[in-house]
Chain A
């Protein structure tokens, strides 16, 4: 699946997007964040406060317990500050 990062999440991870293949045991957004955090210090820093991170699956906001099965694109970003 494709993963995208925005704003300070992107800056901390060090890339705007990538393709990942998490193991089948990673079923929810929360579990995906935990799995990503274990990849490197950069990811751990980006996701150090997982409750602050907002997630969208295929352009729709989801909660941390949302299932990631079948997702084409998952995006992680800070709370929005547009307008």
Chain B
């Protein structure tokens, strides 16, 4: 199906399975000639946290609300920037360092909107989408604490 030029397709998925970035970009841009820019952000499980070496990360979410909350921010992004498509995939389950956790794709006619919308979406995913990380390391297991730097990053998008 060929989408009309003005349409913005929004895809939101929460899943245990890994995602294929190239495949997701191909799906977002398929049969369209109005897209001039795609920005891709991937969040990856990192071994080095602020203190200890992380051996695994478990992601828990609030089913139902997570999808609703991401959709609200995707809708806000599409109203603030001239986007042609948005794909947000957030994985849940237990991950090892190096594994994918989250993917944000934004497509627009020009790069500026795509860059800004991707950053906006990630800042809000970190602070208001109901997901929680539990870390495993040599010193034990514990819930990751929220960072004020993430709140500050999200606050800069608040319209004055």
Contact = CB atoms under 8 A, between A and B. Distances in A.
Interface in A1-33: 4, 6-8
Contacts of A81: 126, 131-133, 143-146
A77 to B, nearest CB: 6
B126 A59 contact: no
A53 to B, nearest CB: 12
A6 B64 CA distance: 13
B122 A83 contact: yes
B143 A56 contact: no
A61 interface: yes
A80 B126 contact: yes
Contacts, number: 71
B116 interface: no
Contact of B143 (A8, A60, A83): A8
A46 interface: no
B9 interface: no
A59 B65 contact: yes
B130 A82 contact: yes
A68 interface: no
Contacts of A4: 62
B65 A80 contact: no
B68 interface: yes
A4 B61 CA distance: 12
Nearest to B134: A7
A4 B134 CA distance: 19
B65 A56 contact: yes
B67 to A, nearest CB: 9
Interface in A54-81: 56, 59-61, 75, 77-81
B131 A82 contact: yes
16 contacts: A6-B130, A7-B60, A56-B62, A56-B65, A59-B69, A60-B68, A77-B132, A78-B132, A79-B146, A80-B132, A80-B146, A81-B144, A82-B59, A82-B90, A82-B129, A83-B125
Interface of B: 43, 59-62, 64-65, 68-69, 90, 101-102, 122, 125-134, 143-146, 150
Q: Which 6 A-B pairs have the closest CB atoms?
A: A82-B131, A79-B146, A83-B126, A7-B132, A59-B65, A83-B125
